Amino acid sequence: SQELEQSPQSLIVQEGKNLTINCTSSKTLYGLYWYKQKYGEGLIFLMMLQKGGEEKSHEKITAKLDEKKQQSSLHITASQPSHAGIYLCGAPYYNTDKLIFGTGTRLQVFP
């Protein structure tokens, strides 16, 4: 069965530092979603990637999907306290509409 593994599991960085979160799949990805979750709240959609080699940016967050479509990275430039939360990668399970998710990366940003 397909699984998504995220690394690191948690990350503590100082404000202003750059950071990268990785998401690795055991199978070829049909697409890759990045979400952010704050404690007690729902998931905020960040980006969706579908093509090998695709890269998207929004404000200070950049996500990439590798050419082989088995790994994605999320990069935050000049982190701020507002970036704190749990980052989840999700992917369609094989060629279906249901999503499977990684276990999440908990990010803390301190001043």
Binding site for another protein (CB under 8 A): 30-31, 33, 35, 40-45, 48, 50, 88, 90, 92-93, 96-104
Task: Pick the closer one to another protein by CB: 24 or 93.
Answer: 93
Task: Pick the closer one to another protein by CB: 79 or 87.
Answer: 87
Determine phi and psi for 29, rounding to 5 degrees. Answer: -85, 135
Check: CB of residue 72 under 8 Å from CB of residue 32.
Answer: yes
DSSP helix/strand/coil, 82: helix
Nearest approach, Cβ of residue 21 and another protein (Å): 15
Facing residues of 33 across strands? 48, 90
Task: Pick the closer one to another protein by CB: 13 or 100.
Answer: 100
Sequence-separated (6 or more) residues with CB below 8 Å from residue 44: 35, 36, 37, 38
